[in-house]
Every structure is written in C-alpha cells, then in structure tokens.
Amino acid sequence: MLQVNSLKKSYGRRIVLEDVHFQVASGQIVGLVGENGAGKSTLLQILATLTKPNEGTLTYKGLEYGSKDEKKLRKEIGFVPQDIALWEDFSVKENMLFFEKLSWVKKNKQELRTLLEEMNLDRWKENVTKLSGGMRRKLNLAISLIHDPSLILLDEPTTGIDLKSRKEIGNYLHKQAKQAGKTIIYTSHDMNEIMDICDQVFFIGKDSFYAKVLEESGQEVIRLM
Amino acid sequence: MKDILMTRLMHLKKSSLSLFFWLVFPILMTFLVVYGFQQVKEDVSIPVGVVTDQSSSETDALIEDMKSTDFIRVVETGESSVKNQLEKHKLDSAFKLSPDFTERVQEGKHHRLLESYRSNQSFAYVPVKEMVISYVQEDFDRARTAKVLEKLSAKYGENNKWTREEIMETSKEIQEEQDLLQVSLSMGGEAEDSESVESMLDIWAIWASFNVLATLLLFDWVIHERHAGVRPRFAFMRYSFKHYLLLHSILYFLLSLTLDFIALIIFDVVLQTTAPIGTMIAFQLFISLGAFLLAHLFKRPFVYYMTAFAITLVIAIASGTILPNQGFTHRFPWLMKLNPIQPFLDGGYGNLFSAVVVAIAVIWYMKRGASRVTG
C-alpha cells in the first residue's frame, strides 16, 4: 500500500502541491490528471524519490520516503520517464542487456525477450533509431520493469503514439496490476485511456475540465488539492 | 565490476575504430614527428660561404670539419661573389680565411685568422661562428702542440724523428679515438649529440603532449552520456550515475595505461629511449582524472574538442615540445607547476596541477544534491 499524508511541495514562493492525502492499494491502477503545470509530474517525481517534498510523509510497503529505506524503496519502484530514455545508437537487445547489467535483478536473454514480447515488441535486434514511436515507448517501459518493481510510475507513457500501441501498453499495465498485483500510477491527457484502464482517478489542479469530463462519464474522481 | 565492464564494452563496440585510433595516436604521432624531423634535417641546411685562395692541410681540415657538421652546407666561393650572395640571401653567413691562414696557424698566431660576414636576415650566424672558431681553435692547438714537440725534439737531439704532419695526424687519431671534442650546431644554446636525431627532440615530451590530446578526446564519452536521456534511470539501478561514470573512467584509465606501456616498449626498442613506469602511471592517472573532470563542464562536444586542442597546444608550448621554452619558463615559472606533463618530464609524480585535480575530484565525489538523486 502506498500512503501519502499532508504532502507539500513548493518551488520558491510557488506552491505546487499542498496538503495532499491519498492512498493506493496493491493491484490498483491510478490515473493522475490535471492541466499542464498542475503538479502531476512533480507528484510522480516525489513518488519516484527523485524530488524531495517540503512537508508530508510518504510510505510504501512500510518503507518510509526520505529515510534510510530509500535504497530499498527504489528497488520497488519502476519509473518510466516522459522523455524516451534509451541509448539511441543501441539495438533493442543491447538496450535491454545494458540496463539488465546495471539492474538489481539478474535476468537472462530469454526473460528479457519475454518481457518485450508481452508488450508485443518483437524487434529484438532492431536498432532503436528504426523503431516506431510506439515501439520506442514500449521499450522505454520494458527497461523500467527489468528489476520487477511492484510500484510502477509512468509519466505520460503513451504520448505521441498510435492507438494500437496505446491499447497494447494499456493491456499490459492492466495485466500487471490485476495478475501480478502491482501498483500503477500514471499521468495522461487521454481521458478515454484513463477511463479504460484506471480503477481510480486523481485530479490535481485548478482547471476542473478534466474532472468534469470524467465525472460526466460516471468515473469516480478524487480531488487531491 | 564485470557488469560495468560489459556495459562499457557495449559502448566501445559502437566506436571501436575511433577508440583504437585515439589510443595509438600518441605513438603514431611521436614516430611521425621524429621521422618527419629526420627528413627535414636531411633536406634543410644552412648555406655558409667559405672564402679562401689557398689550399693546405690546415684549410682543407677546417673546410672538411665544417662540411661534416649537421645542418651546414658549405659553399666555397670567391671574394668577389660572396658579398653579392649575402645580399641576395643565398648565404646565411660567410667566413674568409686570411691569406696567410696556414702560416699563422703553424706559427701559433691566433689573431685575425678569419673575417666573418653575415646577411641582414641571418639567423644562424652566432652558432655557426662559434662552431668555426672552435674548429680553428682545435687546429690551432694541434699545430701548437706539434711546434712544441718539434722544439723539444731539437733541444734533445732527436731531429727528424717525427715530422710535423705525423704529429698532427697522430693528434687527430687520438682525438677521434678518445672523442675529446665534439662540436655540433645548436640553435637553442646547449650543444647536442649530433649523431642522434632523436636526442635533438624530446621524444617523451612529444608523446606526452599527444597523449594529453588523445586522453581529452577519449573522455568525450562523459559529455555524451551525461546528456543522454538515460540518466534518470540510474536512480533505480545498482550503480548511481556518479559511480557509473567513475567506474567507466577507471576502465578508460587502464586502457590508456596499457597503451602507455606498449609505447614504452616500442620506444625502447625502436628509439632507444625509456621512461620510469611509476611516473608514467602517475602522469596517465592525473591527465585521465583531469580530462574526466573537464568533460563535466561541457554540454557540446564540439566546444570540448576545440578546448582540448587549445589546451594541448598550450601544454606543448609550455613543455618545449614545439619550440625551446627557456624564455617562456623563466617568465612564467608558475606555468610549470600547472603543466600536467612537467612532472613526467622531470621524472616526478605530481605538481600543483595534480593536487588541484585531486582536490576537485574529491569535491565532485562528495558533492550531494540533485546529482545524488539521479546519480
């Protein structure tokens, strides 16, 4: 279980997040929506331990953020950055092997291939530069999951890709949550995608457009601020 | 460490050709400079005129000595044309032997034996003049010895036992056997061994300068990888990005060091010159560390490459690799303390540069904050 209490984050005088409370159970998929600049990416960065909050307490599986547990926490987290984080001059295979070598969890080539095949990515020897946008997104996601994290944080993982790839990524995430019991939090501007795969939606920001759209469709929306 | 090595090999596979080139670059360039210099030495010589209207063993010996000197091309010419040739810069300088040169040498009179001239653009007059004077002095002393021996022979009733020519010839043989005096032309001040081209060049200064450039260019991977999008991933890996960079730098250091040892063996066999292994290790360590830290200051590889060339040029000049640098070092003595190759050339292990690099490396390693989060 991920638990967040009284979270506050500001950059100088600008308060980005204030008094944020929520909790997410294992096996849940949570969509994080809000207008640009509302603080979605900041919240995701805090949950990924990449940014420190000014106030508040966060725990995941009993491990406390900002304490000596942080290294253990990072082993539990799979963070998928919004920007594609791949070696552009490597092939799919080389990228997977490279990050496996540096990973906490050892996997053989077959296991790595299987991870990709579960996302319908079968271009093992293809160079990254020759992959489509959707394939690159899938590889970007697969690398973040090499160490079998139980908390998966995705920052707009389906931006700029075709519908088929979106569906494939969505199905994969759904399977990971429902079958493997992983906790998934991700940001997106695509309301259909959010409604399709998320169990809960957290709304963040002042522009209630997103919240209205979701509420009109019968989706339960939790306002974080 | 094995995993780190594997990840580096994956990168190196993509740039194996350029890696190989920059690793062998210092050795290749050193040979190129040494053999290029040898070629230039053979092709270029300073035209020096000699004017004499007589021929004797004394005049012939002087001209032969001059001809045997490196970088000198002796032009035997007449008095009437020497001025014209100097004016047209066909001669750098000219030396006129006095009409009674032979008699004066034989009689031990060493005044006004030569008259010297030079063109208004002469650059070798002073060292050539000193060289000619030393040759004349040599012949003069030999003749005086013969004269003394003749007198002694006459005094003790041993006339006709040795001729003057025999005494002078024996003197030359002894000189050659014992290598009593060797004269060479030197533009930089101190005389060098004219037999060896390599000795006129500081081979290790050349190698070290090119090694600095190669090391700087080899470390451009730091810029590429620091600004690659993969950096945030390292927060969720066994190695922080900082450790990843550091461990890979150690691999590059070891790779460069291997090539340094190969250079040591090759230069020893081919050029008969060697360097202490300990100072070589220290040198490679500090320049690798310096290159690693310097690369952190750049975002654009091109700017870094330009800086690397500029730094190498300054180091090469400061070390006397390109030109003799006595004036430079006297004017800026602190520069030697910051010159990364100076300890290596002096057979030492470090200087102010080494200390500064180590201090910055410690600060870099200890520095926390944003870099700690993402490595």
The model's pLDDT over B173-205, given as tens digits with 9 standing for 90+, comes to 776 665 544 444 444 444 444 445 555 578 999
- Taking a C-beta distance cutoff of 8 angstroms, is the pair A40, A32 a contact? yes
Contact B10 A83 (CB under 8 A): no
Q: How far apart are CA B264 and CA B258, in angstroms?
A: 10
The overall average pLDDT reported for chain A is: 90
Q: How far is B241 from chain A (nearest CA, A)?
A: 10
Look at residue B192 in the predicted model and tell me its pLDDT: 43
Query: How many contacts does A have with B, using Cβ atoms within 8 A?
Result: 64
Bridge partners of B114, per DSSP, are B97
Which residues of chain A does B9 touch, with a Cβ-Cβ cutoff of 8 Å?
A: none
Q: How buried is residue A122: exposed, middle or buried, by Cβ count under 10 Å (0-12/13-18/19+)?
A: exposed
- Please say if the pLDDT value at position A86 is more than 60: yes
Residues 6 or more apart from A33 whose CB is under 8 A from it? A40, A187, A188, A189, A191, A194, A201, A202, A203, A204, A210, A211, A214
User: Which pLDDT score, from 0 to 100, does residue A38 have?
Assistant: 84
Sites in chain B below the pLDDT cut of 70:
42, 158-162, 164, 175-200, 322-330, 368-375
What integer pLDDT is reported at residue A224 of this predicted model?
A: 80
- Per-residue pLDDT tens for A32-80? 988 888 889 899 999 999 999 999 999 999 999 988 888 899 999 999 9
| A54 in Cβ contact with A77 (< 8 Å) | no
Name the nearest CA neighbour of A93 among A129, A123, A132, A69.
Answer: A123
Each residue of A148-158: pLDDT tens digit? 999 999 998 88
Tokens found for residue B283: 């040198």
Cα A72 from Cα B226, distance rounded (Å): 25
- Tokens linked to B60: 């012939």
pLDDT at B113: 82
Q: Which pLDDT score, from 0 to 100, does residue B223 have?
A: 96
pLDDT at A175 over 70: yes
Q: Do residues B159 and B129 touch, judged by C-beta distance below 8 A?
A: no
Nearest 5°: CA angle at B356, between B354 and B362?
100
pLDDT for the residue A25 = 93
- DSSP string across B241-255: HHHHHHHHHHHHHHH
Residues of B in contact with A98 (CB under 8 A): 7, 10
Query: pTM of the prediction?
Result: 0.74
Give pLDDT, residue B128.
85
What is the pLDDT confidence band of residue A183, given thresholds at 50, 70 and 90?
Answer: very high
Which residues lie across from A191 on neighbouring strands? none
DSSP collapsed to 3 states, A34-100: CCCCCCHHHHHHHHCCCCCCCEEEEEECCEECCCCCHHHHHHHEEEECCCCCCCCCCEHHHHHHHHH
SS3 A158: coil
CA distance B232 to B359: 27
Residue A92: the pLDDT is: 96
Q: Which candidate from B10, B231, B236 shows the least CB-CB separation from A74?
A: B236
Q: Is the Cβ–Cβ distance between A34 and A204 less than 8 Å?
A: yes
Which chain B residue has the Cα nearest residue A50? B373
- Return the residue matching tokens 């500064």: B356
Interface test with A, best of B236, B251, B371 (most A CBs within 10 A): B236
Cα radius of gyration rounded to whole Å, chain B:
30
Query: Which secondary structure element, helix H or strand E, spans residue A174, and what is its range?
Result: helix A163-180
Name the β-bridge partners of A15. Answer: A10
Burial class (CB in 10 A: 0-12, 13-18, 19+), A32: buried
Q: How confident is residue A2, by pLDDT bands cut at 50, 70 and 90?
A: very high
Question: Is the dihedral angle over the CA atoms B78, B80, B86, B88 positive or is it negative?
Answer: negative
Residue A200: which H helix or E strand, with range? Answer: strand A200-203
Interface test with A, best of B3, B230, B372 (most A CBs within 10 A): B230
Distance between CA atoms of residues B94 and B105, nearest Å:
20
- Tokens linked to A138: 């899938």
**Residue B118, token pair as written in the block:** 């030079």
Paired tokens of A158: 């389906």
Task: Name the token pair of B273.
Answer: 């010159």
pLDDT value of residue B187: 44
Write down the ipTM of this complex: 0.88
Amino acid B178: pLDDT = 57
The SS3 assignment for B292 reads helix
Kindly report, residue by residue over B155-169, the tens digit of the pLDDT: 777 666 667 677 777
Q: What do you get for the CA distance between the two ends of chain A, in Å?
A: 21
Q: Which of B231, B234, B238 sits opposite A104 (nearest CB)?
A: B238
Residue B198, Cβ neighbours under 10 Å: how many?
Answer: 17
